[in-house]
Chain A
Amino acid sequence: MTRHTPSRTMRIGAAMLTAALLSSTAMTAMADTPPNMLVIAQRIDDVKTMDPAESFEFTGADISRNVYEPLVDFDPLDLDAGYQPKLAESWEVSEDGTQITFKMADGHVFSTGNPVTAKDAEFSLRRAVLLNKTPSFILTQFGFTPENVEETIVAPDDKTLVLKLDKAYAVSFVLNCLTATIGGIVDMKAVMEHEVDGDMGNAWLRDNTVGSGPYKLASWKPNESYTLDLNPEFTGEAPAMKRVIVQHIQESATQRLQLERGDVDIARNLSPEDVAGLDGVAGVKVVDELRGRLMYWSANQKSEILSNPKVIEAMKYATDYKGMEDSFLKGQYVTQQAFLPKTFMGAIDDAPYSLDLEKAKALLTEAGYPDGFDVTIGVREAQDRIDIGQSLQNTWGQIGIKAELVVGTGAQTLDTYRARQHQVALEAWGPDYPDPNTNAGTFAYNPDNSDEAGATGLLAWRNAWALPEMSKETLAAVVEQDSDKRAKMYEDLQREFMATAPFAIMFQQIEQNAMKDGVEHFVAGGATTAVSYWAVTK
């Protein structure tokens, strides 16, 4: 037996290690993304399911939009144009406005090879109502219930689908809602082949897809990656990207490294510091896109002080919107004081409030609180929220309002907020579907302000804000058939809201996606929808 001295053993070990490293180096140096493949670094740990009847998270919406086709859809390259025909080539509204009849387009085929028919659309929409998962309210708000779907969602033949509504809703309202993830049409035959215990294929569709969109799910590893491959049966214009791979990368700095090394084409979750760090880096660009998320503060109207309109107005004038936008929120948020995000139907740019401490102090004195008062602000433990809270603390303090930040987990602050036990809440809200009612129906609608009503989903209720007239106006807007008039109603509603509400909408989110210079037409979805990989070229 040969004995090695320690130094010799170590030398051999080091040599083996070096050899292993060098042998792997050559391969990594060659790694680059092929021209017909899109590789993305993104946080995708929010995915719970791929089932369009249940999916209600950002990443789930991204996948669904590229895999399933709805009856009507947005064009990613012209989001402002609103909904356009997709699986339905046309639609007619009955004279009384309560019935919409869709004519299905020819030529759409599921990834299984089965043609898309009205029966599939009937099944998919009925299924979403029957399963009664969280996003089902997007459909049930039109009067569809598990008990009546067989009469209200009907496909008399393979080419025709009839929706019978409980009221004459604005057709734009109904069609906007059908563009949401829950409006994705699934292959009835394939889904029902995988039904278990009457779940209508819900368990199977968690990690399988059967849509007629440009892509199909090739693989999904929770917390690791998902891969979309071209749907071989897709009959539309073939996307340039034959394969899309999205890797779960938690850390912003790691995403940036991958982009700079060329291992990914797009990095979707860069911190402001990493975005700034890419400035001047050759071959990389950062594309800003307005999203639908709004940041606001609101005051509980159960508080005697905070129910004084002058106090609320004073607090709005003592909020430093521009200062925050230009400093710690730079590039991440833009000032927006109306409850509809910019780019939404009926959105307005009015921003009547700006930091005016003298005016705020005068209003506070007028309200009977010349020396101010003490108040608590419930803040979730996220850095941007805490920064905003501290800014409010500072500027409100200058007019005598002594604010204490109560920092808690999302669950803690949400529990307090839903129980109407907060004083001031610093919160964020994102639209559930791309219609103005999604925000009007929560910020400006509260038909029963009693505790017993338990309307925890309504932000106006959470703040104990009774607004009978505006609630009526909100309801009137969803049945206005003339789209221009409807948009005008929301504009008026927002101006009234800005003047009187115990809410100060402050900011709208900007998403900053960093990508290689050659990547074009990457649209994350704006304020209204999710990402559209089929439009991307590079």
Chain B
Amino acid sequence: MKKTVSLAFTVAITLLGLLFVTFMIGRVMPIDPVLAVIGERATQAQYDQVFLELGLDKPLIVQFGIYVGDVLQGDFGTSIRTGKPVAEDIARVFPATLELATLGTLLGVVLGVPLGVLAAVYRGSWIDQISRLIGLVGYSMPIFWLGMMGLLIFYGILGWVAGPGRLGVFYEGLVPTRTGLLLLDAIIAGDWDVFKDALSHIILPACLLGYFSLAYISRMTRSFMLEQLNSEYVITARVKGLSEWNVVWRHAFRNIAIQLITVIALAYANLLEGSVLTEIIFAWPGIGSYITTSLLSNDMASVLGGTVVIGTIFVCLNILSDLLYRFFDPRAKS
């Protein structure tokens, strides 16, 4: 009970700090929130009217208090760009990011974990070298360039995948929105044409994100596995005559699974908040694209709302991985 209260308190303080930092960044940025609303052609009288409507005449700390109060009620303000509540906008765009990041992480895990394990088992071999090369390229190549090259080759030249966007223009509106996750909605509706089109659109950006995830996950897996493979219990297992498959997967790998949970959670969180460029290149209408466009349009309510949501998810994923760690590893409980 005491731990739960302590955790809740920590989360509350962290989120309040996040709100404070994002709010203050919004206020110190060289953007006139009034001009952002009314445009530079408006008269002084229109300017003064909107200045008061936005509550900018009040002290900063009072403005922050009002903002926190509103956020606690789920009100992030109204977007000057779309004219809709920011919360409604985020609810509309977030599923696109969630779908992309989830598929990207799945690809990263499915390919990255075995690659990392193999690289550790065959340390110094060509598998390890290829794994290093993949990791190096993943870390060092600008995502923007890789995305453009991917589009050029797989969409422009080969025509293997569909172009930018989530769905072809001829498939828009064919399946009702239930979850906001297009693949899932298409399955629920049983519309396989829409499903194939949506898959054709998502596969390239998901592979790109999955690749960056893979680079991180495989390097971490390799590192964790090397530590385990050099442990005495592994040597003992081998001396006992267990097969290499059993030694690697049933003994060593099981011991790194808990650490991997944290790594995967962080990779997932990174994809949720860090896929901005991918979303822009692929015209993917997700939250990264939403925040970026809002920033360029001086739509600070949307930027703050988006940042708070992403930050909250990041904090929650961290807490979740922490809880899972404690659940699976008895040593962490103590």
Contact = CB atoms under 8 A, between A and B. Distances in A.
Interface in B74-131: 80-84, 89, 92-93, 110-111, 114, 117-118
A170 to B, nearest CB: 22
A263 B83 CA distance: 30
B170 A21 contact: no
B217 to A, nearest CB: 15
Given A24-B200, A24-B203, A257-B152, A250 B280 contact: yes
B159 A25 contact: yes
A248 B155 contact: no
Nearest to B33: A411
Interface residues of B, number: 61
B141 to A, nearest CB: 17
A261 B163 contact: yes
A327 interface: no
A223 B285 contact: yes
A143 interface: no
Contact of A223 (B41, B110, B293): B293
B170 A31 contact: yes
Given A223-B285, A223-B290, A260-B156, A56 B161 contact: no
Contacts of A263: 163
A260 B163 CA distance: 11
Contact of B161 (A21, A46, A457): A21
A261 B39 CA distance: 38
A224 B36 CA distance: 21
Contact of A137 (B41, B82, B170, B283): B41
B40 A418 contact: yes
Given A9-B114, A27-B193, A257-B155, A45 B164 contact: no
A223 B93 contact: yes
B44 interface: yes
B170 A45 contact: no
B19 interface: no
Nearest to B49: A132
B44 to A, nearest CB: 5
A45 B161 CA distance: 26
Nearest to B297: A45
Interface in B172-208: 172-173, 193, 196-197, 199-200, 203
A134 B39 contact: yes
Interface string A36-62: 000100000111110000001000000
Given A247-B169, A254-B151, A409-B30, A27 B285 contact: no
Nearest to B198: A24
Interface string A183-221: 000000000000000000001001100000000000101
Interface string B127-171: 000000000000000000000100110011001111111001110
A249 B164 CA distance: 8
B285 A221 contact: yes
Interface of B: 30-32, 35-36, 38-44, 46, 80-84, 89, 92-93, 110-111, 114, 117-118, 148, 151-152, 155-156, 159-165, 168-170, 172-173, 193, 196-197, 199-200, 203, 245, 280-283, 285, 289-290, 293, 296-298
Interface of A: 3, 5-6, 9-10, 13, 20-21, 23-25, 27-29, 31, 39, 45-49, 56, 132, 134, 137, 203, 206-207, 219, 221-225, 227, 245, 247-251, 253-254, 257-258, 260-261, 263, 408-409, 411-412, 414-415, 418, 432, 454, 456-457
30 contacts: A3-B245, A9-B114, A24-B160, A24-B162, A24-B203, A25-B161, A25-B200, A27-B200, A28-B161, A28-B200, A47-B81, A134-B39, A134-B41, A203-B83, A206-B83, A222-B84, A223-B289, A227-B172, A247-B165, A247-B169, A249-B165, A250-B283, A251-B281, A257-B163, A261-B159, A411-B298, A414-B40, A432-B41, A457-B41, A457-B43
